[in-house]
């Protein structure tokens, strides 16, 4: 009978199973190709950036506030107390809204002093604050 598998006939019977070995081989080869090419493709992206005329960014030197180990504060080279520092920072921030402040704090300065100084600086409307550190 047509279409029926007769167990007695060995050679003429159709295969009932799919052979997945060639499929797995092809997939593994594609996987290896993508693994090898992916880093090369990611590193070689070319972007043509637009060219525009513009002014270069102005690099301003920050105002330096130094906190010494004994807790005294200096604005530049001048020793100041908190009220004088607040007044001077307010005047500087009024003249330059993009004012940058760098804090040079001694490693032995208590954290309480630095936190109070940060609050004082931010209270004057200054948002650009940096900390000076040394590499080990």
pLDDT at 119: 93
CATH of domain 63-131: 3.30.420.270
**Of the candidates 110, 109, 129, the residue with the CA atom closest to the CA atom of residue 119:** 129
d(CA 127, CA 117): 13
Residue 34 per-residue DSSP state: H
For the chain, give every domain's residue range. Answer: 63-131
- Global model pTM greater than 0.85: no
Alpha helices (H) in the chain, listed in sequence order: 21-43, 82-95, 111-123
What confidence tens digit (pLDDT) does each residue in 81-119 have?
989 999 999 999 888 888 899 988 888 888 888 899 999
**Phi and psi, residue 112, nearest 5°:** -60, -40
């Amino acid at each position: 009978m047509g279409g029926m598998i007769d167990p007695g006939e060995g050679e003429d019977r159709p295969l009932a199973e799919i052979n997945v070995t060639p499929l797995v081989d092809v997939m593994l080869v594609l996987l290896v190709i993508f693994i090898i090419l992916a880093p090369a493709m990611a590193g070689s992206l070319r972007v043509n950036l637009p060219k525009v005329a513009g002014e270069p960014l102005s690099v301003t030197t920050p105002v330096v506030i130094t906190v010494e180990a004994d807790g005294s504060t200096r604005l530049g080279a001048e020793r100041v107390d908190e009220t004088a520092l607040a007044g001077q920072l307010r005047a500087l921030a009024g003249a330059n809204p993009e004012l940058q402040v760098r804090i040079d704090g001694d490693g032995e300065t208590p954290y309480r002093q630095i936190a109070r100084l940060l609050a004082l600086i931010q209270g004057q409307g200054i948002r650009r604050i940096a900390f000076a550190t040394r590499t080990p």
